[in-house]
Amino acid sequence: MSVENRYLLEILTLSQRMLEVAHKGTEVRSDTESGIVFGTLHDYAMHLRKLSLEQIKRHRQMGWFDEDDEKALDFYRGTL
């Protein structure tokens, strides 16, 4: 697995954790300002996820994704 692809997959993991924190924080927030923080976290997580998936798609099209990368991506998809 290439180091770059490993980091792209790590971004997917981090963005998933960010979404979890944003959802849990939204459930327990006590004021509007906290809601803004959690909403912003959610938006950034979705944006990072989108960018990472787009780059992974490019790497796959260019043949820069090997068998180990594909296995890691399949594993990631199974954790969603």
Nearest 5°: CA angle at 80, between 67 and 45?
A: 100
Higher pLDDT residue, 75 or 54? 54
**Do residues 67 and 3 make contact, with C-beta atoms less than 8 angstroms apart?**
no
Q: Give DSSP secondary structure letters for 8-46.
A: HHHHHHHHHHHHHHHHHHHHH--SHHHHHHHHHHHHHHH
| Token output for 6 | 């490993």
* Confidence (pTM): 0.86
Tens of pLDDT, residues 16-62 = 999 999 999 999 999 999 999 999 999 999 999 999 999 999 999 99
Cβ-based neighbour number of residue 30 at 10 Å: 7
For 49, how many CA atoms within 13 A lie in the half-sphere containing its CB? 17
